[in-house]
């Protein structure tokens, strides 16, 4: 087991070396520009699940997304880790979008739906998710398929988190002063697609991030791969 883990780590280092060489050859200014600072447009609040790497699944680049991830993407108003990320992103980086992303096949949701203890600190961490479950007990109990029930809890968890964000003073001020947009989304692991759940203050329901701007084109970009939003449609392009 130890040898296999070491092999994986060594492979990861070699992969990083190949990636860095490729990026540097593709655009010699890429890393020097990153070293000068960051100006991401998006704050991503997601799950620590290894299958949901935000930059990869959005087709973006290092420098495009400021990130906070934890087990089951639970947002707590007393979590200093989360609050420090939120404050830095909103007040200093001045991101334009906050995306709270849940996902299907979430182990945290499975744990919260279970009536047995997981053990350790995880039971305490998942308490807010258990509260969401209890608040929607009748609806969730009526869903007989385990995967569908877990997916619905993921959606309800995102809704709860978005409501918490909308009640945060720092977020409220940024919405009022510069039109900060809050998006609640769900990533379907089985198909690789992000769906807008319609929570938050964004008006679009069909765009990848719910961004709705019929007049102008918005670009969330790295130096190469770009997601271009025009109206309710998002397209990949390379520039």
* Residue 150 within any structural domain of the chain: yes
Q: Is 106 annotated in some ligand binding site?
A: yes
Residue 224: the pLDDT is: 41
Residue 4: the pLDDT is: 72
Give CA angle at 67 (60, 218), nearest 5°: 45
* Residue 228 within any structural domain of the chain: no
What is the percent of the chain with per-residue pLDDT over 90, rounded to a whole number?
Answer: 81
More confident position, 150 or 3: 150
- Per-residue pLDDT tens for 37-85? 999 999 999 999 999 999 999 999 999 999 999 999 999 999 999 999 9
Q: In which domain, by residue range, is 47 found? A: 41-211
* Residue 74 within any structural domain of the chain: yes
- Number of domains the chain is built from: 1
* Residue 174 within any structural domain of the chain: yes
Q: Is 47 annotated in some ligand binding site?
A: yes
Residue 189's alpha-carbon distances to 51, 140, 162, 227, in angstroms, are 7, 21, 21, 20
Give yes or no for residue 227 having a pLDDT over 70.
Answer: no
Average pLDDT over residues 101-117: 97
Domain of 148: which CATH number? Answer: 3.40.1050.10
Q: CA 130, CA 136: separation in Å to the nearest integer?
A: 10
Give yes or no for residue 226 having a pLDDT over 90.
Answer: no
How many beta carbons lie within 10 A of that of residue 231, not counting itself? 15
| pLDDT mean across residues, the chain | 88
Give the residue numbers marked as catalytic. Answer: 47, 49, 51, 103, 106
* Residue 16 within any structural domain of the chain: no
Q: CA 202, CA 112: separation in Å to the nearest integer?
A: 29
DSSP state of 238: E
* Residue 217 within any structural domain of the chain: no
Q: Is 7 annotated in some ligand binding site?
A: no
* Residue 199 within any structural domain of the chain: yes
Q: Which residues share a beta bridge with 219?
A: 228
Q: Is 49 annotated in some ligand binding site?
A: yes
* Residue 239 within any structural domain of the chain: no
Q: CA 86, CA 44: separation in Å to the nearest integer?
A: 10
Q: pLDDT band for 220, please (50, 70, 90 cuts).
A: very low
Residue 119's alpha-carbon distances to 114, 122, 134, 192, in angstroms, are 12, 6, 20, 31
Tokens of 213: 């701007």
Give yes or no for residue 159 having a pLDDT over 70.
Answer: yes
């Amino acid at each position: 087991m130890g040898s296999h883990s070491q092999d994986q780590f060594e492979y990861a280092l070699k992969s990083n070396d190949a990636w860095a060489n490729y990026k540097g050859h593709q655009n010699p200014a890429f890393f020097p520009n990153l070293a000068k600072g960051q100006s991401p447009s998006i704050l991503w609040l997601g799950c620590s699940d290894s299958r949901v790497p935000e930059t990869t699944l959005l087709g973006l680049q290092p420098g495009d997304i400021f990130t906070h991830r934890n087990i089951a993407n639970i947002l707590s108003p007393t979590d200093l880790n989360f609050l420090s990320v939120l404050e830095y992103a909103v007040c200093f980086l001045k991101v334009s979008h906050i995306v709270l992303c849940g996902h299907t096949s979430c182990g945290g949701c499975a744990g919260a739906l279970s009536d047995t203890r997981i053990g350790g600190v995880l039971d305490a961490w998942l308490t807010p998710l258990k509260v969401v479950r209890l608040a929607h007990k009748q609806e969730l109990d009526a869903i007989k398929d385990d995967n569908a029930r877990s997916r619905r809890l993921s959606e309800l968890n995102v809704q709860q988190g978005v409501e918490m964000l909308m009640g945060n003073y720092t977020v409220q001020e940024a919405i009022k002063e510069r039109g900060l947009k809050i998006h609640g989304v769900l990533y379907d692991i089985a198909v690789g697609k992000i769906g807008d759940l319609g929570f938050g203050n964004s008006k679009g329901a069909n765009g990848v991030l719910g961004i709705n701007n019929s007049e102008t084109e918005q670009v969330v970009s790295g130096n190469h791969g770009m997601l271009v939003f025009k109206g309710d449609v998002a397209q990949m392009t390379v520039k």
